[in-house]
Structure 1
């Protein structure tokens, strides 16, 4: 929809009818109400179209980038059970840690670039992107030591010696991927803030197809084993970096937002670093919460069945999460752009439309989970014990899918508004102070096993979602516009971008 579309109308949707009104007056009021309803419907349709034009490619990007690791784990499974276990636990416990940090830090680019683009200050965006690359590159350097010595970390969280050894082999091959994250994530958010998503989606699909071929050659044909699978995954991420970087440098669509490398990206790094830390803290707490469920389940009695069943369910929940993260990214861009453009009513209207859309999608998916509960387990296993365990967990999976219809979307709204620090505290309280202890008590002390741990997770997510709903409903969008203008202005002053290009 246009920035000054019908969503900015001052006329209320509901009209009051005075008791002493004449029939002609009532007819006029009804006519105005019908007109207002048509205007609102047209505005909702236009906003929904804008949302899907952004979210559909964003979903493709999230899904196909996620499938890069998924494919590597599939090929690792053909090498043997211990190789699969090592790759899986390394992906959850080590790679998931790094990806959560990088993805979270990159959300600061979404906030600042989205609001700068809305204000028409595109020359700032390249500087913001470069600030993120600098900080995330240093973060990748620090995390590379975690990757290199991951054996000790895996042993610390209760993994066997063999699994820890293979896990370390896998993570050492992923060290180059860390630095690819540090470059790709800011560039992808930089383009997304400008509504440039289709080219990035094509790159993700093409890279995935190339990754399939390269992994098959490295593992099955050349016999490079688990380390070869990991190095190939790193190589595929660097292909993404090169393709995306070439687009940023060469595309005329980025001519005004990327004006060259600049030393001014080093100015104001501390204030930008604080925003990236808050962003990383916010998103990591969400990602680690789900991954912790898998790790804790391995400590239950009969851990093989517990891990198998929870892994199957988490697999489906992760796919659902990629879908919702794509919609969330679109919500973040829409809200950030409209706040930067000083359109508070349109920003609020965007929140309503994206939330309603995601709820409809999630209700449909949750119903499918309940209907196809046995078929979902058959896709992964033929062991009746595991099938029964997965089937018993599908009501909880369905409930989690339903909550995913609101929670990630409002997190995207929070990123668009720049609320990362506030939401980080909300996540810490609802997830780790309330939800996780409840899950541990139900799972271990009360003997509910995986179901008990998952109930704790659901309670934490539900409380976090309720808190975000309250925060969103109480938001003064005019104040958020003022904050967006001030945030972009302060960032411009810190970077001194007028004389920045070299």
Structure 2
């Protein structure tokens, strides 16, 4: 889609024909264009860290447990934070693009990259001593030592991630999603090849997998930045380095902080689940299996966030509302398919992660509960995208706090440790939190006043554009 091309036809012309039928099918086409490539991007980006765990898993249960715990710990203390901070661009860039204030997008991109690179410095220091932190939290000392070694080699990848996430949000707001899918595919292929070379040919071991993750993040970052710099698609949204990026940090943090809290509340609940599993009997087994199955269907969330932000920025509140309904239908279909896959292949999925029979059998038992999360996750993910598109990150953070820390984790602790359901109890608890989150976000979305959302967007865009000009 050309950058200058209007995203929507004349709403009045649509209403003169058959608005109900026309709008729905038109929105379906829009969602396929956005969500399809973004789903591919989400899957391929997930392959980078998880394939490293898969390769390491065949080196033994200890290697699998340490790599899984390192991946979890670095997610909760680093990668998730950067992803959360960059989520502010879903509102800022989406809103500016919908309002046709294209020059703002490049300013927002540079501002986000600057902030994320600064934040990466203290995070990298933490990673160098994360083994001490894990031991203080009661984790197995041997697993903690191997985890620290793995995390240290992930530090370069942290800075690469600080470039990747803002670039993704910048392009997503403009519907430039196909190039991201291509870059992610190239990165995933190169990453798998590098893992095979580093782990099995050069015999570097688990740390070789971490090195491969860092290389892959930087490869993806360089391709994205090169596209933004040299592609004609971004010529009006990125006009070069500007000192305006160093102004108005307050506006960025106003959305970035609650967006980070919103995403981290949910993600951290899963990582806390992993840490709690280390306190159960046979922690190597519990830790290696509980971390490997959670994947956000980011394509749905990205699609609805982009559509809502664009249309609210353009003043089309009825189209934004329609976009939410269409994406929810797509997410419901994804929920059904996910449940079918989980139940049909639960006895064989474990062999992908390990060649240990007890690990495979344990994974199969956990999937009896994990399918409940798979059923709710696409729906709540879409609703989370609606929240970010509307700029309601603070409300989303409160919803996630209630769902996971009032309902989910307490239930998991009681079932896992008091009633001795162990890993199964932890998963049941987090499934309850996931369901609670879905219900809260449904309530917020269904009772939202869309016309008021448009009114709240317009003054902010005008003020931001005035600062740049």
Name the TM-score, length of structure 1 as normaliser. 0.87
In the aligned structure 2, how far is the partner of 1:173 from the partner of 1:408? Answer: 31
The correspondence of residues 332-481 of structure 1 with structure 2, limited to 5 A, is 332-377=305-350, 379-380=352-353, 386=359, 389-481=362-454
Cα shift at 1:78: 4.5
In the aligned structure 1, how far is the partner of 2:468 from the partner of 2:266? Answer: 35
Residue from 166, 170, 174 that aligns with 1:190? 170
TM-superposition CA deviations, 1:348-402 (whole Å, max 9, x none): 0000000011102211221332233333345556766555544443342221111
**Conservation of the 8 A alpha-carbon contact between 2:103 and 2:239:** yes
In the aligned structure 2, how far is the partner of 1:224 from the partner of 1:398? Answer: 36
Cα shift at 1:5: 6.3
In the aligned structure 1, how far is the partner of 2:212 from the partner of 2:378? Answer: 34
Equivalent in the alignment of 2:457: 484
In the aligned structure 2, how far is the partner of 1:56 from the partner of 1:80? Answer: 36
TM-superposition CA deviations, 1:83-133 (whole Å, max 9, x none): 332221110122343111011111101110001000000001100111111
In the aligned structure 2, how far is the partner of 1:364 from the partner of 1:213? Answer: 30
Using a 3 Å threshold, how does the CA distance of structure 1 residues 221 and 436 change in structure 2: closer, same or farther? Answer: same
5+ unaligned residues in a row in structure 1: which ranges? 12-34
TM-superposition CA deviations, 1:133-175 (whole Å, max 9, x none): 1111111111011111111122123223322222111111111
Secondary structure at the counterpart of residue 104 of structure 1: helix
Residue from 68, 83, 91 that aligns with 2:63? 83
Equivalent in the alignment of 1:121: 101
In the aligned structure 1, how far is the partner of 2:58 from the partner of 2:74? Answer: 22
Residue from 5, 8, 29 that aligns with 1:3? 8
Indicate yes or no: 2:329 matched with 1:329.
no
In the aligned structure 2, how far is the partner of 1:137 from the partner of 1:376? Answer: 37
**Conservation of the 8 A alpha-carbon contact between 1:8 and 1:346:** no
**Conservation of the 8 A alpha-carbon contact between 1:430 and 1:464:** yes
Indicate yes or no: 2:257 matched with 1:277.
yes
Using a 3 Å threshold, how does the CA distance of structure 1 residues 163 and 392 change in structure 2: closer, same or farther? Answer: closer
TM-superposition CA deviations, 1:263-295 (whole Å, max 9, x none): 111111133123211111111111121222222
TM-superposition CA deviations, 1:393-443 (whole Å, max 9, x none): 334222111101310100011111111111111111221122211221122
Equivalent in the alignment of 1:28: none
Equivalent in the alignment of 2:468: 497
Equivalent in the alignment of 1:214: 194
Equivalent in the alignment of 1:315: 292
Secondary structure at the counterpart of residue 447 of structure 1: coil
Equivalent in the alignment of 2:149: 169
In the aligned structure 2, how far is the partner of 1:487 from the partner of 1:210? Answer: 42
Residue from 127, 130, 136 that aligns with 1:147? 127
**Conservation of the 8 A alpha-carbon contact between 2:69 and 2:274:** no
In the aligned structure 1, how far is the partner of 2:248 from the partner of 2:352? Answer: 51
In the aligned structure 2, how far is the partner of 1:409 from the partner of 1:222? Answer: 43
Indicate yes or no: 2:34 matched with 1:65.
no
5+ unaligned residues in a row in structure 2: which ranges? 1-5
In the aligned structure 2, how far is the partner of 1:217 from the partner of 1:360? Answer: 39
**Conservation of the 8 A alpha-carbon contact between 1:5 and 1:43:** no
**Conservation of the 8 A alpha-carbon contact between 2:331 and 2:382:** yes
Equivalent in the alignment of 2:3: none
Name the TM-score, length of structure 2 as normaliser. 0.92
